[in-house]
């Protein structure tokens, strides 16, 4: 029997979804979710289970990275503060057959990646955000809801760091589950390669630890299984000594593009002798520059940058005066801060990706295609697009293999690769369709052209992918099947497959 509270909610929901036209199935789901929310309030308390309109609900909704995510209004939002809360929530949504989403920090841009509209229920881990370091300083324990800026700030005083994001605002949880590219990756591989233990809530609500000794298949699967196998409530990761950093950005004219890209690929080859650095090139347009521009980025973590030849080629390429932020004695938070400034939250946005073999003409072709397809959109408020070409160095893939491998389907035999993240920004919802169509046009063109030129690599990075990009097929059929088998073992009635919305599905 619905209480007066739930009848009211039910009435409001039905009214808002046009009572005359809603299907019996939707009506059933609204009733089910309403019961789930009530049960959650009974078990976890109304301070942790928030309803739309409450200040807590609004604050957590507003703190997603993009409006596309913030705009979705869940039936209720569970602000979990520990694994037991998540376990309780999973048991309740399973029992009630209630669709739900899971959010760590909410940086994935597309609507529904980590949020859900009613009658769905949002499980929010932003408050599971503690960072601690073991007494021997070898392992850092990270809450999924922390940001990398918070993690670095906590570990710095101990003189330690971890393989984490290159932006302060990016979330721990989604980043590690997709893999995670860090300035430490050329030496230590993906962030996920450095996880030694996952604390994870399974579909039956059990809380288990997955590591090389206990639940080893699940441990392997979580290094790419994202929103399919379990909800991670703690990542235990290898910690490394903090080193002084050197790095920054430079701006270049478009005509310098081939030179700066070729210089970057020289840097990537040199990582085989000195893997303590990294960099990338970004071709793009923004309203402020009113022009297409290229940015090159630099990071060096070795003891003394004057002792390495890694960046000789890149630093020899001309740059636009006044655009050089390279400096020594800096730290990750400062380098990340420049990325945060370039990627502010609160704007409509979409990421999209392709992985390429090293091929400068392909890179120029992608830039030209972007220029062509975005040109008719110039003048749209806040328009910005940037095609960032990030190396995946062989040394990185060797570190991945040395750490036990992952389901991602990458191998050192693939050679140095180039990962494209085409990041597109605009302000108005009315421009969604036009912007997304241009993005899809570039990705379709790049995919086909790269295949024709034999510069295509099958891998799609989930943390940069469009919702329709087939991430799990891109891991290869052997890994995909093994992941499905692990899923069948740990979630035999496919609870997560049925109810957990968002992310990419096996
Ligand atoms: C400014 C900016 C800079 C970035 N820089 C980098 C970078 O340097 N390197 C890089 O590799 N990527 C980078 N990214 C991409 C980033 O890795 C992804 O956006 C990532 O998903 C962010 O993690 P999150 O916790 O905020 O994700 P969320 O949006 O919270 O979640 C992403 C997905 O993971 C699932 N998920 C989240 N938490 C859990 C959990 N605990 N258990 C199970 N599933 C979960 C969600 O359901 C969702 O589908 C950047 C993004 C931004 C916005
Ligand atoms: C981190 O979690 C704590 C409670 O667990 C919460 O009070 C705090 O607001 C969270 N931090 C952020 C920045 O959300
Ligand atoms: C745009 O870039 C071109 C070539 O780099 C240059 O000639 C032109 O002056 C620039 N325009 C603006 C507005 O900066």
288 lines ligand 3 (CB under 6 A): no
170 lines ligand 1 (CB under 6 A): yes
**318 vs 12, which has greater pLDDT?**
318
pLDDT at 19: 52
pLDDT at 195: 98
Mutation probe of ligand 1 site: the residue of 80, 86, 107 with most atoms within 8 A of C-beta: 107
Distances (CA, A) of 131 to 145, 151, 412, 470: 10, 6, 32, 33
pLDDT at 22: 76
pLDDT at 4: 43
Is 503 within 8 Å of 114 (Cβ atoms)?
A: yes
Which residues does 68 contact at the CB level (< 8 Å), separation at least 6? 109, 110, 111, 348, 349, 432
Model confidence at 11, pLDDT cuts 50, 70, 90, reads very low
What are the pLDDT digits (tens) for 229-243?
Answer: 999 999 999 999 999
**5 vs 50, which has greater pLDDT?**
50
Model confidence at 359, pLDDT cuts 50, 70, 90, reads very high
The closest residue, in CA terms, to atom 1 on ligand 3 is 291
Interval 404-432 mean pLDDT: 97
Tell me, in angstroms, the distance from the centre of ligand 2 to residue 331's CA: 24
Over 90: is that where the pLDDT of 136 sits? yes
Tell me, in angstroms, the distance from the centre of ligand 2 to residue 22's CA: 38
Predicted TM-score (pTM) of this structure: 0.95
Model confidence at 28, pLDDT cuts 50, 70, 90, reads confident
Is 45 within 8 Å of 57 (Cβ atoms)?
A: no
| SS3 call for 149 | helix
């Amino acid at each position: 029997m619905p209480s007066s509270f739930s009848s009211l909610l039910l009435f409001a929901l039905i009214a808002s979804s046009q009572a005359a036209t809603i299907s019996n199935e939707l009506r059933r789901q609204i009733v089910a979710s309403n019961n789930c929310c009530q049960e959650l309030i009974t078990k976890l308390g109304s301070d942790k289970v928030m309803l739309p309109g409450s200040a807590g609900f609004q604050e957590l909704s507003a703190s997603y990275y993009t409006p596309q995510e913030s705009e979705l209004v869940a039936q209720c939002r569970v602000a979990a503060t520990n694994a037991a809360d998540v376990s309780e929530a999973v048991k309740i949504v399973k029992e009630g057959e209630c669709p739900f989403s899971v959010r760590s920090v909410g940086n994935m841009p597309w609507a529904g990646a980590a949020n859900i509209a009613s009658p769905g229920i949002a499980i929010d881990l932003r408050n599971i955000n503690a960072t601690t370091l073991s007494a021997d300083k070898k392992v850092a324990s990270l809450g999924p809801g922390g940001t990398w800026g918070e993690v670095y700030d906590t570990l710095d005083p101990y003189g330690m760091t971890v393989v984490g994001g290159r932006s302060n605002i990016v979330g721990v949880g989604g980043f590690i589950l997709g893999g995670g590219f860090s300035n430490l990756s050329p030496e230590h591989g993906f962030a996920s390669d450095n996880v030694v233990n996952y604390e994870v809530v399974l579909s039956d609500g059990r809380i288990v630890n997955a590591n090389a000794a206990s639940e080893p298949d699940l441990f392997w699967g979580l290094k790419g299984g994202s929103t399919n196998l379990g909800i991670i409530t703690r990542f235990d990761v290898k910690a490394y000594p903090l080193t002084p950093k050197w790095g920054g950005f430079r701006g270049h004219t478009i005509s310098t593009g081939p030179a700066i890209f070729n210089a970057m690929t020289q840097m990537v080859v040199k990582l085989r002798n000195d893997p303590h650095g990294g960099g990338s090139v970004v071709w793009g347009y923004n309203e402020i520059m009113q022009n297409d521009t290229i940015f090159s980025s630099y990071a060096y973590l070795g003891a003394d940058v004057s002792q390495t030849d890694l960046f000789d080629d890149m630093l020899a390429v001309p740059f636009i005066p006044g655009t050089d932020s390279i400096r020594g004695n800096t730290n990750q938070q400062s380098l990340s801060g420049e990325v945060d400034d370039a990627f502010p939250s609160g704007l409509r946005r979409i990421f999209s990706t392709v992985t390429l073999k090293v091929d400068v003409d392909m890179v120029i072709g992608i830039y030209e295609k972007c220029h062509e397809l975005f040109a008719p959109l110039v003048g749209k408020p806040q328009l910005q697009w940037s095609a960032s070409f990030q190396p995946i160095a062989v040394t990185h893939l060797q570190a991945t293999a040395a750490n036990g491998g992952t389901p991602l389907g990458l191998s050192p035999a693939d050679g140095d690769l180039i990962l494209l993240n085409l990041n597109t920004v605009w302000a108005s919802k009315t421009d969604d369709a036009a912007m997304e169509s241009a993005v899809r046009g570039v990705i379709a063109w790049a995919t086909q052209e790269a295949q024709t030129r034999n510069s295509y690599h099958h891998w799609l990075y989930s943390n940069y992918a469009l919702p329709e990009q087939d991430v799990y097929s891109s891991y290869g059929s052997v890994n995909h099947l093994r992941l499905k088998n692990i899923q069948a073992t740990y979630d035999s009635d496919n609870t997560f497959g049925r109810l957990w919305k968002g992310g990419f599905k096996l």
